[in-house]
Amino acid sequence: MATRHSAAGARARRSTFLPFSPPSITEAEVEAVVDTLRSDWITTGPKTRRFEQAFADYLGAESALGLNSCTAGLHLALATLEIGPGDEVITTPMTFCSSVNVIEHVRATPVLADIDPHTLTLDPARVAEAITPRTKAIMPVHYAGHPADMAPILEMAREHGLYVIEDAAHALPAAYEGQMVGAIGDFTAFSFYATKNLTTAEGGMLTGSPEHIERARVLGLHGMNRDAWKRYTAEGSWYYEVVAPGFKYNMTDIQAAIGLVQLERLEAMQARRRQVVEQYQAAFSQLEALEVPAERANVDHAWHLYVLRLNLDRLKVDRSRFIEELKEWNIGTSVHFIPIHLHPYYAEKYGWQPEDFPVAYHEYQRVLSLPLNASLSDEDVQDVIRAVVDVAENAS
């Protein structure tokens, strides 16, 4: 059993607030941005193409498209596959709203399936129950960086003629049965938001077959049949045609410049994340009031989030109070996520009740995400551990 820290609590508390997940930016990223600003291209251009190719090569994906967000990638995947009114897309309630908003944007119907209680990812058994003749796609979300159970999902997709669109906002670099996430489904969308394992401040990437990606490329830049940056190069042409009513989703070379450096640093940053996770697992697995995250043997977890679960039947406080007490220790936290069916828009439109997806609802009430990023020092990690142990033991 971990040692109690309450007696020395006041002396051990941090003097400064530890943010939940700041970006890891070095001088190399700064220099790359400056180099881009001094070049002829700051919007979509040669560095974006380099980043797309390097990213695809890293994952073993066929092709990749740089975008301004993961949300854009999910939207383009649905639009490229011509999923729309009358179609259903099965996904998880345990995700950020953008995963489901994009289904609404194409005027399809989101169908929720409950989650696996161990990994908090989409439960294939619940997916099987949700398939109807109107189902066109399954959208698994690789929650916290742990890949969803893809084998049965892919088998169901083959059996019913469905597309698989992976929300991999958390899942770089994750792998499932030796295959990198990004080279598995029909489309995979990644996020490079400021908190992610690889960041471009804002940004994202969509991977898939060359045919699908080229169609998405057209839709992602106004529906034009030529890239804007090529029109202004020596080998380009002023002439273009709009072949579809597209969107404005392109990545800039400023973002790509950051991404290229971050991709080179990714393995080192991941190694540090795993070191932090190992310390957390060792400390928190000793406490009966806490449940540590799972990592199944057939996956490589990306560890975007460290999601601790409170065994509320062994605590005198709820999750909100637990978080407030950690804040008193100057430790930042977050909650991932408020399930989709609890949000007013979706609850009212589809008539969903909290207990309609009991696993997601139950787990939501006891999850909290602890600081996890490549910039954490050993002292930071020990501050988090001291705080969590103290709060958990005093509340037990």
List active site positions.
196
Compute, in degrees rounded to 10, the torsion defined by CA atoms 196, 201, 202, 205: -60
Beta-carbon contacts of residue 191 (< 8 Å; ≥ 6 apart): 69, 70, 168, 169, 170, 203, 204
Please report which residue ranges of 69-185 form alpha helices under DSSP H.
70-80, 98-105, 124-130, 150-160
Beta-carbon contacts of residue 235 (< 8 Å; ≥ 6 apart): none
Nearest Cα residue to 75 out of 193, 243, 255, 216: 216
292 close to 284: Cβ distance less than 8 angstroms:
yes
Compute, in degrees rounded to 10, the torsion defined by CA atoms 168, 172, 174, 175: 80
Q: Dump strand ranges (E) for 34-178.
A: 63-67, 88-91, 109-112, 135-139, 163-168, 175-176
Q: Is 105 helix (H, G, I), strand (E, B) or coil?
A: helix
Q: Is 328 helix (H, G, I), strand (E, B) or coil?
A: helix
Distance CA 261, CA 296 (A): 30
**DSSP letters of 282-307?**
HHHTT-TTEEPPP--TTEE---S-EE
Across-strand partners of 190?
Answer: 168, 205
**Helix crossing, 378-395 with 253-284: angle to 10°?**
50
